[in-house]
């Protein structure tokens, strides 16, 4: 399985994971120009979660959490802001909580890390 297939498989598993937890999928692979992409945007009640999905074959290079670099964080924030600009009903709702999470997948097992940065 090449990297693209591994990533696609991970995103399918991630969607299933969050749907089983009662989340609604708002967007998959939301891109903002060349800035970057948010793998998954989900909602449950008043919580909107921007999810970075990392499907790894091995933890040889430090695992999924170490793939979230300072530059990746900056890009995710810019892309999330672009998503909210395109969805003003979400951005203007004072009751909503926004969060960035990581879903690390290894051998089809999901590890959900909530609130990975602010």
Query: Any residues with CB less than 8 A from the CB of 39 and at least 6 apart, and which?
Result: 11, 14, 28, 29, 51, 52, 53
Whole-number pLDDT of residue 106 = 85
Average pLDDT over every residue of 51-71: 75
Tell me: pLDDT of 60 over 60. Answer: no
Asked if 75 contacts 85 with a C-beta cutoff of 8 angstroms, the reply is no
Both tokens of 20, joined, read: 């089983």
Give per-residue pLDDT as tens, 64-79: 666 788 999 999 999 9
Whole-number pLDDT of residue 9 = 83
Domain boundaries of the chain, sorted by first residue: 3-117
Question: CATH topology for 3-117?
Answer: Trna Endonuclease; Chain: A, domain 1 (3.40.1350)
Average pLDDT, the chain: 90
The helix (H) or strand (E) run that includes residue 51 is strand 47-56
Whole-number pLDDT of residue 4 = 77
Average pLDDT over every residue of 73-93: 96
């Amino acid at each position: 399985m090449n990297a693209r297939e591994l990533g696609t498989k991970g995103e399918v598993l991630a969607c299933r994971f969050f749907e089983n937890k009662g989340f609604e999928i708002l967007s998959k692979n939301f891109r903002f120009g060349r800035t970057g992409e948010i793998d998954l945007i989900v909602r449950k009640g008043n919580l909107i979660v921007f999810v970075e999905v990392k499907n790894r074959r091995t933890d040889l290079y430090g695992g999924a959490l170490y793939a979230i670099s300072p530059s990746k964080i900056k890009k995710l924030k810019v892309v999330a802001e672009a998503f909210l600009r395109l969805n003003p009903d979400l951005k203007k709702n004072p009751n909503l909580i926004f969060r960035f999470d990581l879903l690390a997948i290894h051998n089809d097992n999901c590890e959900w890390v909530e609130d990975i940065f602010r």
